[in-house]
Amino acid sequence: MDNFFALANITDELWQAHFASTRLSDAAAVWLQATSFTFGAPSGTTWSIFKSALQEEFTPQDFAFHARMQLDACVMRKDIRGYIKSFRSKLNKCSNVTDAEALFRFTRGLSLEAQCFVRLAKPDTFAAAALVAEQLAPTLESTSFPARGGPDGRPSH
């Protein structure tokens, strides 16, 4: 919703909360009806308060832990573009990941050959490393490098 509000240039937080409340369905719609008298949703509630209440109600307690575990397990198998997309998706689910940590985790998950190319470019941000990796895609796809080591993608020793 935040992206939609930004793209549509909608800045009124009361309207944002009201609009978001119209998009709820199933358990979230039932939750809204049950709580609307508690905190005044959607009228009189800002988007920030409404979003926080939604997240508190529907985000699993161990969500952050599992998101980090998924990010840690993310490795390139064959397709570098697929890896970049998967890594970004998992990274977006994590909070408090510094750019330096994202850069390290992203590079570590690349195939050994891709790691070499990316490290030679000396990117200083995750975005720069992802761009270098994206530019490598045609080269890596036309060359048959072996896949990563063990069954979990980590090098086998």
**Above 60 in pLDDT, residue 154?**
no
Domain presence at residue 150: no
The DSSP result for 116-138, as a single string, is: HHHHHH--SSHHHHHHHHHHHHH
Higher pLDDT, 154 or 100: 100
Q: Among 58, 91, 106, identify where a domain stops.
A: 58
Which two three-digit tokens encode residue 111? 């195939």
Q: Mind listing the pLDDT tens digit for each residue in 88-135?
A: 999 998 888 999 999 999 999 999 999 999 999 999 999 999 999 999
Domain presence at residue 157: no
46 and 80 co-located in one domain: no
13 and 41 co-located in one domain: yes
Q: Among 15, 36, 58, identify where a domain stops.
A: 58
How crowded is the C-beta side of 46, counted as CA atoms within 13 Å? 6
Region 12-32 average pLDDT: 86
Buried b (16+ CB within 10 A) or exposed e, 95-108: eebeeeebbebbbe
Mean pLDDT across the chain, nearest whole number? 84
Single pTM value for the model: 0.59
Distance CA 101, CA 126 (A): 8
Pick from 73, 91, 87: which is nearest to 154 by CA? 73
Which two three-digit tokens encode residue 18? 């009201």
Number of domains in the chain: 2
77 and 135 co-located in one domain: yes
CA-angle at 119, arms to 117 and 122, nearest 5°: 120
Supply the pLDDT for residue 31: 85
**Above 80 in pLDDT, residue 40?**
no
